[in-house]
A = this chain, B = another copy of it.
Amino acid sequence: MREFKKYSFELDGIDKIILNSLMSNAKTSISKIAKEVGVSSTAIHQRIKKLEASEIIKNPVTPLNYKALGYKTIAYVGIYLEKSVKYQESINEMLKINEIIEAHFTTGNYTVFIKLLCKDNDHLMDVLRNKIQKINGIVRTETIISLEQSISRQIKP
């Protein structure tokens, strides 16, 4: 019996052009890509379907401009967790905090490392004091505030 291997096919040049177009602009028209590489729209369409099926590309998303929405402060917080406390418990609590947009279980000093998006520094301080530091098992936190984000991009396939 032949097994289906997820994630296992080679991307050729056409696939890479498709990926590079779609990753920077999900609305790139299929016909435009088709003209660029010199095949029919249908061919491009079929390849995109294949890339979706193999889960190499995900649903296109529309990024919000957080600054325009009033979220101007990006911060990272390293969290020291009591050994006795279950990691998943704290994650469950963090899921309830809207300002947390990323969380990682990490090596090194910190147990958990999170990324926060807040309106301003006051908002950040409020979230830290009244939400994060009240989570059971958190013994200490270290905050890194981003003064300027100078690089933000995806990796090229």
Most interface-central of A61, A74, A142 (chain B CB within 10 A): A61
Min CB distance, A16 to chain B, in Å?
11
A68 contacts the other chain (CB 8 A): yes
Within 8 A of B (CB), among A99-157: 99-108, 110, 113-114, 117, 142-157
Residues of B within 8 A of A101 (CB): 151-155
Number of A interface residues at 8 Å Cβ cutoff, please give it.
Answer: 63
Find out whether the CB atom of A149 lies under 8 angstroms from the CB atom of B71.
Answer: no
* Known contacts A66-B155, A113-B76, A154-B64: A59-B25 contact under CB 8 Å: yes
Min CB distance, A153 to chain B, in Å?
6
Min CB distance, A106 to chain B, in Å?
5
Find out whether the CB atom of B57 lies under 8 angstroms from the CB atom of A27.
Answer: no
